[in-house]
A and B are shown apart, each in its own frame.
Chain A
């Protein structure tokens, strides 16, 4: 019984939250890695682009709520996401046209494009704050829990409760569907393969008749989908605040690099690596040991490797270690 309690404890406080957080990071990391693999620069506007897409989603959610449209137990935001994606893609394509294209055509070094993306970051941040403001926005509605901790306890008779939020399930499900679709697209369709080819060897792709303009456009469209959905899921699960989104850029970068930048599958796994290690290393295992150890051996301290204040620091340290020992990432090998 105690072992079961201990397992439920880990499931409730480590596994489920890490899986959810990891999925959110993974979507962002694939976004970073796609831009890096095809447009060949580190996009420092990542977090803010995600907040832009989420902002539009929130505005549409409010609009639908005011019209009385809802999905019942599901959050209204789910019907607003497609609109968020649409605006996100328009925003990204126009930024590409007016800003990034010039440097791409002139074959500027990647560093210059990264600097330019900082300009885009400033502008996007301003746009988001001017439109929706800098403060916390909650836009979740519908049924909050699928399993409530108290009900779970009553049902099973265990001491430990298991809470499962609907946003957690939605996040994981949507991520699985989206990522499978993406990998199917990249690996099985002609257009997807031509994107891989372009990322692998640009000159040869041109000689094979692949149209770079089309590749760039599709990349931004996929990026817009990933950014909006990733951002909206994060906002539904936690809350929307522009500054948090900007900050999320850092673990997202960490995930993309850990997975081997330019490799979407690596980025996908990298998201979970970062999320799990952040939560594993900062969780206080006292209660866990209380369940599995005999009373005489119960620990006195919190049995916490690092205080939760260092959550971000964990992911960055992992990144630094990876950069030192395997600069090409853990899952190197295939491109895109």
Chain B
């Protein structure tokens, strides 16, 4: 019970902090922090089942996030018919070529003994295959990218509701994790970390530069929303009435009718964006709760027990007949798929897909700070880590500004050092993250909410 008390206390503090932001800054900011906290929580849950349950290091979170985002684009954008007729055939041919190449290679791997000749043959096959694919694809890619490059210039997607992409994103990320896992999971822990980090950079390079598929650095904007648009809400009667009812006390204080109308309009505009954010909160909260229930169930199931056994003593688990390799692959796929969901959610919320914004600091290392700070192996800890770290990440700048002003209060307003520090406020968030991580690792290495289960 005492441990549960810890959880409740930690979450209450977190909620109070967000509410304080709502009161002192604005409800809009508070809600956008809350939504991003929820998305971060999904990501940390993904990383946590890999690291906390199985002890696998995945520094490729950025790659899976981006793939989830790509799914959101491919699902929700309407197909670009001209592009399909211009270059679709070539692209499909390439797809066949890739499939054929993979099949041939796996055939060779299965049916021939390992030898130098085989290795060289495969190398030659891959290189000539890549060249062939490039030659086949080039005219098609050029044709596609030439079609209205300012607006489309890519194949587009399937024109389905964006919410489907959350599932598709999970499959995309899981698929990539399958390949990565097959390749890299046998590696020692630190090699695995580096390999996954580098593979995620390759994924980002592809997403950034294959314009026919993703529009690359030209970004995809104006994705369809699962929530209503602010503009529509502002002209909807029931919504205006709702806002009026909520603020009736405040509005009645204003006696002038036109003033009151203006105030109401202002409130409606603010209210509409709060309402939209609340819609997202609802959707995200649903995902978080579903995932939390599933992961908790898994953690306490025989399967979860087996995973912890593998984590704590791989050799013993192996000797007892547990297929460690298979289980590691499975959990690697599951964790990455969850990260993929988060990636799709993120793009859904933003309504745009910007491949250039995927950077390892933000999408890999920050998530790891969340997992470590929150408490690896404990789902509640991971979620809390997502909340606390994201909150600090956003509020670091105001906090730093406050501290700078406090400590330099004696200096004149134009003092060079003071101005320089104030200019550098955005970078204090890195400092806080780093110090936070170092302090937690030193003095509370199991995180704020440590893993509860102890194997006796």
Contact = CB atoms under 8 A, between A and B. Distances in A.
A250 B201 contact: yes
B84 interface: no
A42 to B, nearest CB: 4
Determine the main DSSP class of A at the interface with B. helix
A69 interface: no
Interface string A42-57: 1010000000000000
Given A112-B441, A119-B437, A316-B202, A129 B424 contact: yes
A169 B266 CA distance: 65
Contact of B187 (A112, A115, A122, A323): A323
A11 interface: no
Contact of A133 (B191, B206, B424, B437): B424
Interface string B419-437: 0010110011111011101
Given A309-B208, A309-B209, A110 B189 contact: yes
Given A118-B437, A127-B431, A324-B183, A246 B361 contact: yes
Nearest to A123: B434
Contacts of B209: 307, 309-310
A303 to B, nearest CB: 10
A115 B367 CA distance: 12
B430 A126 contact: yes
Contacts, number: 121
A71 interface: no
B239 interface: no
A134 interface: yes
A330 to B, nearest CB: 15
B194 to A, nearest CB: 5
Given A111-B190, A122-B430, A102 B205 contact: no
Interface in B33-89: 57
Interface in A303-323: 305, 307, 309-310, 312-313, 316-317, 319-320, 323
B58 to A, nearest CB: 12
Contacts of A129: 424, 427, 430
A114 B372 contact: no
B57 A130 contact: no
A126 B201 contact: no
Contacts of A121: 365, 434
B110 interface: no
A257 to B, nearest CB: 7
A118 B428 contact: no
Contacts of B442: 102
Interface string B108-124: 00000000000100000
Contacts of B428: 126, 130
B433 A323 contact: no
A312 B199 CA distance: 10
B198 interface: yes
A323 B191 contact: yes
A60 interface: no
Contact of B193 (A99, A114, A301, A316): A114
Nearest to B364: A118
B191 A126 contact: no
Contacts of B194: 42, 253, 257, 319
A134 B361 CA distance: 14
Contact of B427 (A120, A130, A324): A130
A126 B431 contact: yes
A323 B183 CA distance: 9
A327 interface: yes
A250 B365 contact: no
Interface string A103-120: 000000111101110111
A110 B197 CA distance: 17
B55 to A, nearest CB: 8
A309 B438 contact: no
A317 B202 contact: yes
B183 A320 contact: yes
- 9 tightest CB-CB pairs across the interface, nearest first? A122-B434, A123-B434, A126-B431, A126-B430, A119-B437, A316-B198, A309-B209, A129-B427, A119-B438
19 contacts: A41-B190, A114-B190, A115-B368, A118-B365, A119-B441, A125-B427, A125-B430, A125-B434, A126-B431, A130-B427, A250-B197, A312-B202, A317-B202, A319-B194, A319-B195, A320-B198, A320-B199, A324-B183, A325-B119
Interface of B: 57, 119, 130-131, 138, 183-184, 187-191, 193-195, 197-199, 201-202, 205-206, 208-209, 361, 365, 368-369, 372, 421, 423-424, 427-431, 433-435, 437-438, 441-442, 445
Given A130-B421, A253-B197, 17 more contacts: A41-B190, A112-B445, A115-B441, A118-B368, A118-B437, A119-B438, A123-B438, A129-B430, A250-B197, A254-B198, A257-B191, A307-B209, A310-B205, A310-B209, A313-B206, A316-B199, A319-B195
